[in-house]
Structure 1
Amino acid sequence: MWPPARPSWWRGHALVAWVTRAASPGLPRPPHGRTLRAAGESWGLSRHYSSAERKEKVDMSRFPVENIRNFSIIAHVDHGKSTLADRLLELTGTIDKTKNNKQVLDKLQVERERGITVKAQTASLFYNHEGKQYLLNLIDTPGHVDFSYEVSRSLSACQGVLLVVDANEGIQAQTVANFFLAFEAQLSVIPVINKIDLKNADPERVEKQIEKVFDIPSDECIKISAKIGTNVESILQAVIERIPPPNAHRKNPLRALVFDSTFDQYRGVVANVALFDGVVSKGDKIVSAHTQKAYEVNEVGVLNPNEQPAHKLYAGQVGYLIAGMKDVTEAQIGDTLYLHKQPVEPLPGFKSAKPMVFAGMYPVDQSEYNNLKSAIEKLTLNDSSVTVHRDSSLALGAGWRLGFLGLLHMEVFNQRLEQEYNASVILTTPTVPYKAVLSSSKLIKEYREKEITIINPAEFPDKSKVSEYLEPVVLGTIITPDEYTGKIMMLCQARRAVQKNMVFIDQNRVMLKYLLPLNEIVVDFYDSLKSLSSGYASFDYEDAGYQTAELVKMDILLNGNIVEELITIVHKDKAHTIGKTICERLKDSLPRQLFEIAIQAAIGSKIIARETVKAYRKNVLAKCYGGDITRKMKLLKRQAEGKKKLRKVGNVEVPKDAFIKVLKAPSDK
């Protein structure tokens, strides 16, 4: 038989060691015609195999389409999505039941540290129900509003969702937002009331909320405790009975939707795919509908929850595919893959993510520019909702202007850069995208459009060139106990909000809807809301377009010279407050010089705020002991003239540390 049983000395030796001892008695030689490389590969040691490759391949053909269920878990932050996913993985035998099973699908370091899900994660579960073997493809999604793009992408690969609601907290703002995402996608919704083991849990009250807000009968709710496993198995039965199988056909040509991807430095792009039609296997030649490039499939498999290679993936199934894509730009989220010589109509894909917050990102040391560029490219492959534009600054050097879905999204992206790619960056204070409607036909011809979008404050056009400025607005949903309603209304009014609706969802809880300018909520609105409501209020928002606003460009001047990096766009009514804050922060950050430094905030030629950095003082009269008073007056006059001259010719250089203190995001203070 070939290969032979491994000799006792084999462990830890290379193929070369075997060759040198091949002449030893009793050790068989390779059969005629077999190369040493082939012989070594048959023993699995002549090349580096990944742990996934060493696993036995799964036969996915035993799961016909009618035995497949694809579903997501959606909920507000901290309502128990990841804990429920752990129990489902244990019940189906996907993972061993141990005390260490806590948020198994939260694989990123940032998720572990913050205790939140920021990346949707997929797992395939094999479950036996009434004598039939079912394939349940589970996607655990984030709960925070900043990662709603992850949720919408995940729902495209599903036919149903588990809507998890905390039995103590009840319906929250993101619960409402996620429900309507699933409702618009026409998915089956199974309401799950979690944490019924808590002392203050009131599942009956939550049932009534679900019935009133979502119009789902209360008898369809499943009451569980994901932490201790109470009644969790009934969820698996409900998934099989209430969620329809995917509408897919194996005999049709291959159509696979890329709904997520990661970059592996050894294997290239690993694409997560949902097969809508056809079959794909190792060796198939596939084509990207987006780039029209052809690739050979190196490996297919399912996530269980780690990579488990399979012989083939079939229509209706969700898994991963590796096809030798080495460049991060080749794997587009929402792309359709099909077999070479069998072109198909591309799947609809996804709407492009609309950035709500922009911030400048620069390497701390310009010598790290290329390394940081590579890191950003790989991370944006994994997080396609981030937009990247090249930018540069006189003080901070070459960098990028990045667009994010929110402030937490920006913080998490920065943290992942540091943890996963060891990149240290300077991140400037966040701004929002404004628009300007041009008034001159000459300018319209120059820009090739009447309405331009401004993501960099330095490019803000002068009032004489535009007919009106527009600022982005969002429709915010706030759910709060009614005792905090008055304080929250005052907070919203201070942020230029317009109330749209107010509904009591039960005896104690109110749902408020406001139209809010995005730049009023992007930095500290959420913190203020939590503080006013003792942590009980929840907030979610969705894009509501643009509205006319009185916007002005505020320049920051040092001794009369504009500092480009500190230019900001503000609402006319708040210009003085913001200008004063920046001037005060600069005053504390700038080193003193031999001459006085005037820090000014200006709108056009009008100064609206000022601070002064005092000059170093030298006592020129120290050596004058008595004598003529005119001598002292001459010395003081000469000193004053010297400082005046220095101020005219002296160049105020702002240290990079001072820029970091002034420009850094408020959340990093």
Structure 2
Amino acid sequence: MKNIRNFSVIAHIDHGKSTLSDRMIQLCGLVTAREFKDQLLDNMDIERERGITIKSQTICLPYKAKDGQQYYLNLVDTPGHVDFTYEVSRALAACEGALLLVDAAQGVEAQTLANLYLAMENDLEIIPVINKVDLPAAEPEKVAREISEDLGLDARIIQQCSAKTGLGVENILEAIVKYLPPPKGDADAPLQALIFDANYDAYRGTVISVRIVNGMVKPGDTIVFMHNNSEYKVEEVGQYLLIRTQCDSLSAGQIGYLIAGVKTLTDAKPGDTVTRKDDPCSVALPGFKEAQQVVFSSIYPISAEDYEDLGAALEKLQLNDASLTFQKDSSAALGFGFRCGFLGLLHLEVVQERIEREFDLSIILTVPSVRYEVYLNSGTVQMLDNPSFFPDPSLIEHVEEPFIRASILIPERYMGTLMNLCMERRGENITHHYPTTGRIELTCELPLAEVIYDFYDKLKSLTQGYGSFDYQMLDYRTSDLVKLDILVNSERVDALSQLTHRQRARERGLKACEKLQEEIPRQMFKIAIQASIGGNVVARTNISALRKDVTAKCYGGDISRKRKLLEKQKAGKKRMKTVGNVDIPQSAFLSVLKSEQ
């Protein structure tokens, strides 16, 4: 065990985690120059295109150190985005150390801090690494000062590298061997293993990534998942080299995978403890919790005959992504679809893109919403994530919505505009401090519903791309929420209903009405588009009628002939308005929903 090191690479988005992992894999000789490709550990097309890690990956690097000994370095590459924080925390629980990567040009950012705190909670040994030192804008001395003064990390063990060129990467491997502790554990104790990730293989079922804390597991053992008490027989164990590599057993301190005929990912939850049936451990490992969906949206197929295919697509996605939840839903305007729960907006975007690409389906998503707690006069509490089920306001005592604590790092000159943005979004308890000269960390409490629309985009545009943002869930607080309905020709369009704060209702309603006005084609009669709260209309736009010149044939004669024709037309239009249907094109739904996202 003394020659094993389990570590993770943590950083803000785009600070070079995947690139550094690529260089380490090359240095340890796991891949030839011919087989190499960028972002080697990322499997999905979306990850490669966007340059982000969505799914955590693991690899065992055999490394011969300068002291002549052979070491096995288990690298757990984690997602950097705030949506996947729980996955990151479980991956860190499987390690003894972490490389904290900081961009030499950008410095310490919001998620650098958030991930550092996660690592500290898990009691990890941290090696700070300054990456991208070859950039013209790099300021390694300044960033080293930030790391030692603001983060309180030891300046003597700071490593400098350029993951792109490979400069200094070997020194990092030596530092891992030198400064990170080997794993502790007793190979003779009862089996106690942490599940920190799982993915689905179409031929073998669920492949479970485990860190063996105590004991040993081998093929033929009957294991139990302590959270749901389900039993399985181990078919195969092994380690992650570039491909899954089978071995005879996994013992204390090692990271690897096990296959045991588990049919779905929902049975193998990250954070659960695995033990042997015939010799169980006494307590489960701490830290297990269910993944919480925070953003909800309904997905409808654009063509009604794709409904079955959409259901099959979501089932297949759930095999690969246990944090996605869905149930059947229907809408008068859009037909049958599914109400889905996501970990955050990035997770929603990834699922939407995968459905469109991998299953070749055209879909519409309704306005994303969060989960509210509705307290009724009868004393019952309803958990509500779909505006269609919002009860009558006369039955409601009060409504509570989720709040988050946002941490925003910005250059000093954007302080005023950012304060305004937070105030607009109903921010509370706004505080700030100066981590370094010229940079401000703003902390404020915001309703989650105000963040999931376009807060991040606004933050980036107001700070010219220099702002960084991270958040954590806080609690539920009482808010004055109302249901905003959109009416077209006095008919309510349920797919466009949304729950919003009373202060923002008119602004949101007007935006939706204006978008619909642009997209709905003109009819022979005037169409009113209204946004209403109950019976109270808060915003309205009109689509004017198509004019047909009925008096064109009256080339002479008395004016009363023209007036008679115009009166007849007016009566016809009035009758048409009461019986005429307005078909709302799909592009109109998309334009409203896009403006919200």
Same fold, TM exceeding 0.5? yes
The structure 2 residue matched to 1:404, chosen from 322, 342, 362, is: 342
User: 4+ runs of 1 displaced by more than 6 Å?
Assistant: none
Query: Which of 456, 479, 492 matches 1:549?
Result: 479
Distance of 1:102 and 1:499 partners within structure 2: 43
User: What secondary structure does 2:41 align onto?
Assistant: coil
* Cα deviation digits, residues 242-271 of structure 1 (max 9, x gap): 222233222223333322222222222222
- 8 Å Cα contact 2:213-2:252 kept in structure 1: yes
Aligned partner of 1:517 in structure 2 is 447
Letter in 2 for 1:122: T
Distance 1:529 1:328 in 2: 36
Give identity over the alignment, percent. Answer: 48
1:312 aligns with 2:242: no
Q: 1:599 aligns with which of 500, 507, 529?
A: 529
Inter-partner Cα distance in structure 1 for 2:488 and 2:175: 67
Letter of the aligned partner of 1:316 in structure 2?
A: G
Amino acid at match of 2:7: F
The answer to whether structure 1 residue 69 and structure 2 residue 22 are counterparts is no
After TM superposition, give the deviation of residue 315 of structure 1 in Å. 2.1
Among candidates 294, 307, 332, match of residue 356 of structure 1: 294
The answer to whether the aligner puts 1:480 opposite 2:417 as a matched pair is no
| Unaligned runs of at least 5 residues, structure 2 | none
Q: Which runs of 5+ in 1 are unaligned?
A: 1-64, 445-450
**What does residue 498 of structure 1 align with?**
428
- Specify whether residues 265 and 370 from structure 1 end up closer, same or farther in structure 2 by C-alpha distance, changes over 3 A only: farther
Say what the alpha-carbon RMSD is for the aligned residues. 2.2
Write the mapping of 1:94-493 to structure 2, written as runs, cut at 5 A. 94-97=30-33, 100-129=36-65, 130-344=67-281, 345-348=283-286, 350-441=288-379, 444=380, 451-493=381-423
Cα distance change of structure 1 residues 82 and 390 upon mapping to structure 2, 3 Å threshold:
same
- Which residue identity is paired with 1:294? E
1:12-31 counterparts in 2 under 5 A?
A: none
After TM superposition, list the pairs within 5 Å mapping 1:618-637 onto structure 2: 618-637=548-567
Structure 1: distance between partners of 2:332 and 2:498: 16
| 1:27-82: CA deviation from partner (whole Å, max 9, x where unpaired) | xxxxxxxxxxxxxxxxxxxxxxxxxxxxxxxxxxxxxx332221110000111111
* 544-553 vs 80-89, greater mean Cα deviation: 544-553
Report the CA distance shift for 1:536/1:461 in structure 2 as closer, same or farther (over 3 A). same
Amino acid aligned to 2:317: L
Contact 2:332 2:493 in 1 (8 A): no
Return closer, same or farther for 1:367/1:534 CA change in 2, 3 Å cut-off.
same
Please report the TM-score for the alignment, with normalisation by the length of structure 1.
0.84
In the TM superposition, residue 473 of structure 1 has moved relative to its aligned partner by 1.8
Match of 1:214, SS state, is: coil
Question: Normalising to structure 2: TM-score of the pair?
Answer: 0.94
Q: Quote the residue 2:571 is aligned against.
A: 641
1:472 positional shift = 2.0
Moved more, 639-648 or 256-265: 256-265
> What SS class does the counterpart of residue 524 from structure 2 fall into?
coil
Contact kept? 1:428, 1:665, Cα under 8 Å: no
* CA deviation vs aligned residue, 1:177-228 (integer Å, no higher than 9, x gap): 1001111111111111112222222222112212222211221311222222
Checking the alignment, whether the CA contact within 8 Å between 2:200 and 2:264 is kept in structure 1 is: no
User: Alignment length, in residue pairs?
Assistant: 595
Shift in Å, 1:347: 3.2
1:665 Cα offset (Å): 6.5
Structure 1 residue identity aligned to 2:204: R
**Worse overlay, 341-350 or 111-120:** 341-350
Give me the whole-angstrom Cα distance separating, in 2, the residues matched to 1:182 and 1:531. 31
Deviates most, 596-605 or 99-108 = 99-108
What secondary structure is seen at the aligned counterpart in 2 of 1:621? Answer: helix
Q: Which moved more, 1:113-122 or 1:244-253?
A: 244-253
8 Å CA contact 1:426, 1:664 repeated in 2: no
Distance 1:524 1:147 in 2: 19
Distance 1:608 1:505, change over 3 A: same
The answer to whether the aligner puts 1:531 opposite 2:461 as a matched pair is yes
CA distance, structure 2, for counterparts of residue 370 and residue 334 of structure 1: 34
Whose radius of gyration is greater, 1 or 2?
Answer: 1
**AA aligned opposite 2:85:** S
User: Bigger shift: 182-191 or 655-664?
Assistant: 655-664
Q: 1:152 Cα deviation (Å)?
A: 1.5
Query: Do the aligned partners of 1:67 and 1:135 also contact (CA within 8 Å) in 2?
Result: yes
CA distance in 1, matches of 2:265, 2:290: 18
Shift in CA distance, 408/159, structure 1 to aligned 2, threshold 3 Å:
same
* Alignment deviations for residues 508-554 of structure 1 (CA, whole Å, 9 cap, x no partner): 21111122222222222222222222211111111122222222111
Shift of 1:617: 2.9
Paired letter, 2:288 = F
Alignment check: 8 A CA contact 1:194 1:224 kept: yes
Return closer, same or farther for 1:333/1:417 CA change in 2, 3 Å cut-off: farther
The 3 A distance-change label for structure 1 pair 153 and 372 is farther
- What SS does the corresponding residue of 2:193 show, helix, strand or coil? strand
What's the secondary structure of 1:95's corresponding residue?
coil
Contact 2:302–2:363, Cα closer than 8 Å, also in 1: yes
* Shift in CA distance, 417/592, structure 1 to aligned 2, threshold 3 Å: same
Q: 1:431 touches 1:455 (CA, 8 Å); kept in 2?
A: yes
Residues 329/180 of structure 1: CA separation in 2 closer, same or farther (3 Å cut): closer
Counterpart AA for 1:404:
F
Whole-Å separation in 2 of the counterparts to 1:72 and 1:167: 20
The answer to whether the Cα contact below 8 Å between 2:132 and 2:162 also exists between their aligned partners in 1 is: yes
- Matches of 1:374 and 1:210 in 2, distance apart? 48
